[in-house]
Structure 1
């Protein structure tokens, strides 16, 4: 279940509560609700503040509104458990087969996951290197989502595009200009942006993508491949799954706000989560260990993570090499 699907599920629970005369709203049911990853482990897979959003329209305390919605939400398909947390959050745990369907969807859609193909007007050229990079990025966001991003006036850079390309190359230039929020001044130091070490976020993102692809190559050499994604409940697996699920929503939000820094940050989080998963949940058998279903499960998750990393880099105009 993707965040967009879960948002619609939460809205369905709200409508059921209204139809059952258990919620009395002084206004219409909202068109959308926000679901986010919980701030701490052990708080479910997703959280929503919909009860806090609706409480002023009901005259009831947020905790009471949350408890009403919880009863309807817990009965819907794909939901394993719903808990109410102070001051009125709903913490949602999905059923295991929801994750299986998500990974299957990502692997089926491949380069189309989170990225559509919509008509978008050609970007307007600008003299400033950063404004030009932003215009190109907003064009890609428009084409990916069908949403026309608002025009942004990003903080300019002193260097020309030719200077940046000569010192950084196209990939590091794109990252340097798009990763900071529009109002922040970019850092263009080659010592930072070209460093092949963990302190460089761009290197971590591209390295994580290369490691995901290397896992699949090595698995193929061992005669094993991705399998059904069952029992993905290790904290490192759950964290990575949540970020994979959240990629389409992040792309949509980036388009609505004209903010290519959002998918860039999402890539960093996904890369870090993948590397933790890689180190704590081996996807390949070690030594004399025989391949098992868990290896196939983790290979499928690695494949989905690699797809998200590749798609996000492509959205930013950055290459996603399979070897580093």
Structure 2
């Protein structure tokens, strides 16, 4: 179950509780259930505060509403356990994401995996920091008109500009590296430019993200030389429960939530952080993809290759959302 699926599942549970009389008929149903990653020290992987607005219209304590929903959600596919914490937060311990379902979803959506269908592609030609940030927010589906922090015509510019001493960063670092530096920190923070942006090693996050995308394409080329292609699978042994595989699956499953949060908060840096996380997971996982020594390609190798291919596609799509190219070779 992806975070987007979880959001829909919680919304369905709310409607079911009202329909079955467990919550009053007059409860104001939420248009959208916000699901976030559990904060450090919390329970499980995801949490939602949906019980609080429901409790207000139901005239009941949030904890009571949360327990009603927890009972309905406990048996949902993909959810291992639901706990109520604090005064009414719902916390979810999730089952391992299905590699087959994730790969299928990425293949169907391609570069638009996790992107809301109504979000239109961005525009090109942005040069100032304000233009770059606004362009990225629009690509993510954020609403600039509701956020004065991103509107230089309201209460003064709140997007920190590139310091004049940096000169023409597009000419000095290239358009892609310049955009990454502008978008990798919150809009109100001053972006940092240095020779580190151009360093071609894994100490450079910008390089790591694009390198991981290129590694995914290289794995596909190498597998073709060995005579096999990616094939999604979820049978035992296809994608073993290794730490590297689990980390990559979690990062892929979280990607739609990261995109939604980046759009909702008008925060492109959230997507940049998600791409770094996904890239690091793929770079760790890559060593398990191809046969070693005298091994023959098996169903497990084909499934791992499909997972790596999906991760590379999502990285390319995420870079595209930031207006940055994703080369197949570096």
**Would you call these one fold, judging by a TM-score over 0.5?**
yes
The structure-2 alpha-carbon separation of the partners of 1:303 and 1:130, relative to structure 1 and needing over 3 Å to count, comes to same
Moved more, 314-323 or 42-51: 42-51
Among candidates 175, 196, 199, match of residue 200 of structure 2: 196
Match status 1:183 vs 2:168: no
Moved more, 8-17 or 78-87: 78-87
Unaligned runs of 5+ in 1: none
Q: Which residue of 2 aligns with 1:311?
A: 317
Q: Which residue of 1 aligns with 2:154?
A: none
Contact 1:3 1:35 in 2 (8 A): yes
The structure-2 alpha-carbon separation of the partners of 1:197 and 1:206, relative to structure 1 and needing over 3 Å to count, comes to same
Contact 1:45 1:94 in 2 (8 A): no
Q: Which residue of 2 aligns with 1:238?
A: 246
Moved more, 248-257 or 111-120: 111-120
Contact 1:26 1:58 in 2 (8 A): no
CA shift at 1:163, angstroms? 1.7
CA shift at 1:173, angstroms? 0.7
Moved more, 242-251 or 177-186: 242-251
Q: Which residue of 2 aligns with 1:100?
A: 100
Unaligned runs of 5+ in 2: 152-157
SS in 2 for 1:295: helix
Q: What are the superposed Cα offsets for residues 71-122 of structure 1, whole Å, 9 maximum, x if unpaired? A: 322344x33522325334331424765x422220102221232345755896
Q: What are the superposed Cα offsets for residues 266-300 of structure 1, whole Å, 9 maximum, x if unpaired? A: 11111122223334xx0111111222222222111
Quote the Cα distance in structure 1 between the aligned partners of 2:232 and 2:305.
9
Quote the Cα distance in structure 2 between the aligned partners of 1:109 and 1:229.
18
SS in 2 for 1:23: coil
Q: Which residue of 1 aligns with 2:144?
A: 149
Among candidates 141, 151, 171, match of residue 166 of structure 1: 171
Quote the Cα distance in structure 1 between the aligned partners of 2:42 and 2:122.
45
Q: Which residue of 1 aligns with 2:226?
A: 222
Q: What are the superposed Cα offsets for residues 46-68 of structure 1, whole Å, 9 maximum, x if unpaired? A: 44343466456553463x54443
The structure-2 alpha-carbon separation of the partners of 1:182 and 1:54, relative to structure 1 and needing over 3 Å to count, comes to same
What is the count of residue pairs matched by the alignment?
Answer: 312
Quote the Cα distance in structure 2 between the aligned partners of 1:110 and 1:125.
25
Quote the Cα distance in structure 1 between the aligned partners of 2:42 and 2:284.
17
TM-score (norm 2): 0.81
Q: Which residue of 2 aligns with 1:140?
A: 139
The structure-2 alpha-carbon separation of the partners of 1:192 and 1:58, relative to structure 1 and needing over 3 Å to count, comes to farther
Contact 1:79 1:92 in 2 (8 A): no
Moved more, 298-307 or 288-297: 288-297
The structure-2 alpha-carbon separation of the partners of 1:202 and 1:96, relative to structure 1 and needing over 3 Å to count, comes to closer
Quote the Cα distance in structure 1 between the aligned partners of 2:162 and 2:11.
44
CA shift at 1:187, angstroms? 0.3
Alignment RMSD, CA only? 3.2
CA shift at 1:131, angstroms? 1.7
